Amino acid sequence: MDVIKTQQISPRPIEKVIVHPLVLLSIVDNYNRVAKDTRKRVIGVLLGTSFKGTVDVTNSYAVPFEEDEKDPSIWFLDHNYHESMFSMFKRINAKEHVVGWYSTGPKLRENDLDIHRLFHNYVPNPVLVIIDVQPKELGIPTKAYYDVEEVKENATQKSQKVFVHVPSEIAAHEVEEIAVKHLLRDVKDTTISTLATEVTGKLTALKGLDARLREIRGYLDLVIDEKLPLNHEILYHLQLN
């Protein structure tokens, strides 16, 4: 399915989607248990918060889902199961709301807009996050979308819903980082998906990069304020890096 880039109308534009590591771990675990070595995908509900264009995905759960491989228009998602699960989750954390749904794709499918339409019953502007549970390249294993009404230039043509890509990133609270490290500490099974390991590695690397950039900024500020002399050798190495 193509993501169309034309004139669009969106009541609440989404600017960014943040996915937490424990959400990824939960999705990968469920995929490995029910869909590994098959052509099936796993679908579930995303919980979290939405504020000023940023959707923060902090929790999730899978829902029973079936689809006809030959006819994409035939599919079943157990919304009764979803409503029952959400009721239980809400008792645990009332701050978390339905923010959208996820699919292990690994890319957009023909019936995704129809499924997305169902989630409009639970949230005004749901997001779809596609999780690549078997990434073949390094990078963030998530792609996020929301739908907008595509405006046709020809007034005789009906408007239609299309997916629009929105930037996504992986972020974690300190307690989540500790939990992920504990979960992965004793993992010896090499058949387990490397997604969680990659996410943890990227978080560690980004924290190290942030610390290094802060150190560089501190040095440059001191040079600008003439509290330290200008060192051309240091600036040369900074430009190389």
The pLDDT tens digits for 42-59 are 999 999 999 999 999 999
Token duo for residue 84: 């029952």
The pLDDT tens digits for 187-227 are 555 444 555 566 666 666 777 777 778 888 888 888 888 88
Indicate whether this model's pTM tops 0.95: no
Half-sphere exposure of 180 (CA within 13 A, CB side): 24
Nearest CA to 21 out of 170, 181, 144, 192 is that of 170
Q: What is the pLDDT of residue 105?
A: 87
Decide if domain 16-180 falls under CATH 3.40.140.10.
Answer: yes
Q: What is the pLDDT of residue 225?
A: 84
The pLDDT tens digits for 120-143 are 999 999 999 999 988 877 778 899
Token duo for residue 68: 């006809």
Q: For the chain, give the percent of residues with pLDDT over 70.
A: 77
> Quick check: 72 pLDDT over 90?
no
